[in-house]
Amino acid sequence: MSQELSEEQIQQALQGISVPPQPQIMVDLQMEQYMPDPDLEVIARLIAQDPGLSGALLKIVNSPYYGLTNKIASIQRAVNLLGSRSVINLINAQSIKGEMSDETIVTLNRFWDTAQDVAMTCLTLAKRIGSQAVDEAYALGLFHDCGIPLMLKRFPDYMSTLEQAYANAGPESRIVDTENRVYNTNHSVVGYYTAKSWRLPEHLGNAIANHHNALAIFSDDSNRNSQLKNLLAILKMAEHICSSYRVLGNQNEDHEWNTISHLVLDYVGLSDYDFENLKESIRELGAR
């Protein structure tokens, strides 16, 4: 994760913030995933026991983003089609959403709607630009801001601080810098720790930790951190397309994207014109 965040600093920063336990179905799915030859029938059977997860998986696999000719109604067929790794990443993300929702906090309705939009847009972008990590891009899109509801539970004034953070974003100030000044921690740190405690892949945790550190990461034009850059490029494009700056930051302009857009688009090989066309085609799919 980011060099500025040591393990001790994380523990100190999380004092008073409760990380929800990993859902049992995620534990069971991960155990099956780590087997030498994961059994797709076992995975399908586990998912089928949870109506909410079953419905979420079928909704995802039948969405326009996967482009299937015929609709799928069978969990087993969906699992066979997508493969164990994709299914487990998608279900992990859905489990996280279900586990962390808190209906007593009205703000989170808007938060989760945006997270789902960003996730589906990440999935679409990953497919469009030929990424090999389509399922991981989806999981990152849904989970990257998971620290926000936990921060809100701990700090009742958090959303107003987050709006200020989005307003201050630019070449000299990251979104997380404002949070650090006010709370001595930020939603990227909390999200990283949650991903780690839920045993998500380390590179997804690194992307969560650094998703507001894109300027420094993409300013380094060496071949280092290519896996991180690939994921973050997709995420930052998706956040902009889904107008996270409006929904979460209450801003009329995406100050963060204005700072990093040329570096991100350069990295993925898209011109501004190409990106505008891509944005419009994704909107037509219903990603926003």
**How do the domains of the chain map onto residue ranges?**
17-100, 103-288
Task: Check pLDDT > 50 for residue 114.
Answer: yes
* Structural contact between residues 200 and 234, judged by C-beta atoms closer than 8 angstroms: no
Give dist(CA 84, CA 57) in Å, integer.
Answer: 13
Task: Check pLDDT > 60 for residue 186.
Answer: yes
* Structural contact between residues 125 and 237, judged by C-beta atoms closer than 8 angstroms: yes
- pLDDT for residue 1: 40
Collapsed DSSP state (helix, strand, coil) of residue 170: strand
* Structural contact between residues 39 and 216, judged by C-beta atoms closer than 8 angstroms: no
Decide yes or no: CATH 1.10.10.10 for domain 103-288. Answer: no
Which of 4-13, 95-104, 127-136, 225-234 is predicted most confidently? 225-234
Give residue 2's pLDDT band: very low, low, confident or very high (50, 70, 90). very low
Give dist(CA 43, CA 70) in Å, integer.
Answer: 23
Residue 128 vs residue 106, higher pLDDT? 128
Taking residues 79-86, report their average pLDDT: 85
Give dist(CA 61, CA 170) in Å, integer.
Answer: 37
Other CB atoms within a 10 A radius of the CB of residue 234 amount to 29
- pLDDT for residue 9: 60
Q: What is the pTM of this model?
A: 0.84
Query: Across-strand partners of 136?
Result: none
Locus of tokens 């990953």 = 126
Other CB atoms within a 10 A radius of the CB of residue 239 amount to 26
